[in-house]
Amino acid sequence: MTALLRVEDLRVRFRTMGPLKALATGTKAPFIDAVCGVSFEIRKGETLALVGESGSGKSTIARTIIGLQRAVSGSICFDGQEIEELSGTERKPYLRRMAMMFQDPVGSLSPRLTVRSLLTEPFRIHGIKRRDAGGEAERLLRLVGLPADFARRYPHQLSGGQARRIGIARALALNPDLIIADEPTAGLDVSVQGEVLNLLARLQDELGMAILIITHNLNVVRHMTDRMAIMYLGRFIEVGSTERIFDQPRHPYTEALLAANPEPDPDAVLNRIELKGEVPSLLRRPSGCEFHTRCRYAQDLCSRVFPEPSTNPNDAEHNFRCHFPLKGEIVSGLMLSHPVSVGTERS
């Protein structure tokens, strides 16, 4: 399948203080690296998840792709065109082919606009004239299963699920090739979450767009995505097909995330793995493997040497960064891990 979006060695840095304050306080590096050399691609019609705890850099990647944040280096190539080097005006035709669904379904909709104005706003923003704006709003409402009279409502008159549907309809307004969905089920009841995910899956089948999902909800990942990337402190630490990673995670952090995930099957037995401590500060990254301060398998080598990416010998698309990768399997919700041998795979 052809890559629709290819991101290579992306780096995003934030200043923590102004240059004068840095000079006055003698701070040598007044910035944090929020995204450190991330590479991935999304193929046409595919769904990829970026997974990780808050602050892992997943939303920063999304904001950089759609131009709300500039990268310090790296490449973002959309449908064969490098967009990082384009000016704002040159980028517009490419940005029009991407749409973002923001996290807060109600808060992301302007409270002063009716649903009709909200749905036709993307046309105005991109300077596209529509003679029949009302008809366009009706078409979009139909797409997401809402009646035409919703066009007269205001955001405060919508439930969370309805607001999320309006967010999806708005994202679809310009027939994008890529939708970036930031926590598409956040703040919704479990039953409404299912409806929203089914709607997204149906629309993807019908319209064929690719979806980049940003989430920490592993049930969403399992049911919606083809591939997933696990992030920790701005880096990918495991990437592969969703099926492969759920069945056989190789990185201890992935193992802990999967083991902590509530199983939909009430009879399943969960072997929870407690993650030690807090996520380290981006201002003070641990040496060696940055996960070593929380890893239950950490050995001396881990705190000294940064692990380079390894590839699963049985799956060239499954990559991970760990000196002692797991050879785990999940049996009916019970994850079995095996003892560690130094410098080799656990077996």
Nearer to ligand SF4, 258 or 289 (CB): 289
Query: Nearer to ligand SF4 by C-beta: 26 or 277?
Result: 277
DSSP 8-state code for residue 2: -
Q: Which residues are within 8 A (CB) of 183 and not within 5 positions of it... i.e. 6 or more apart?
A: 103, 214, 215, 216, 217
* CA–CA dist 118, 249 (Å, integer): 42
Q: How far is the CB of 40 from ligand SF4 (least distance, A)?
A: 20
Closer residue to ligand SF4 in complex, CB, 78/253? 253
3-class DSSP state for residue 169?
helix
What single-letter amino acid sits at 25?
T
* Locus of tokens 């009646």: 147
Q: In whole angstroms, how close is the CB of 306 to ligand SF4 at the nearest point?
A: 9
Residue type, 117: S
How many other C-beta atoms lie within 10 A of the C-beta of residue 341?
10
Minimum CB distance to ligand SF4 smaller for 198 or for 344:
344
- Our CB check for ligand SF4 shows the closer of 288 and 333 to be 288
Cβ-based nearer residue to ligand SF4, 80 or 339? 339
Q: Using the minimum distance from each CB to ligand SF4, give the nearer residue, 165 or 323.
A: 323
Q: How far is the CB of 326 from ligand SF4 (least distance, A)?
A: 9
Closer residue to ligand SF4 in complex, CB, 106/301 = 301
**Residue with Cβ nearer ligand SF4 (83 or 245):** 245
User: What is the rounded distance in angstroms from the CA atom of residue 230 to the CA atom of residue 214?
Assistant: 10
Q: Could you give the CA distance from residue 243 to residue 255 in angstroms, rounded to a whole number?
A: 14
Name the H helices within 97-251. Answer: 115-125, 133-143, 160-172, 190-207, 218-224, 242-247
CB of 290 to ligand SF4, least distance (A): 8
DSSP 56-94: SSHHHHHHHHTTSS--SEEEEEETTEE-TTS-HHHHHHH
Rounded Cα distance, 315 and 296, in Å: 26
**C-alpha pair distances (Å), 161 with each of 135, 158, 234:** 23, 8, 31
> What residues line the site for ligand SF4 (CB under 6 A)?
251-252, 289, 291-292, 295, 297-298, 302, 307, 322-324
- Rounded to whole angstroms, how far apart are CA atoms 268 and 332? 6
Long-range contacts of 84-93 (CB under 8 A, 24+ apart): 91/67, 92/126
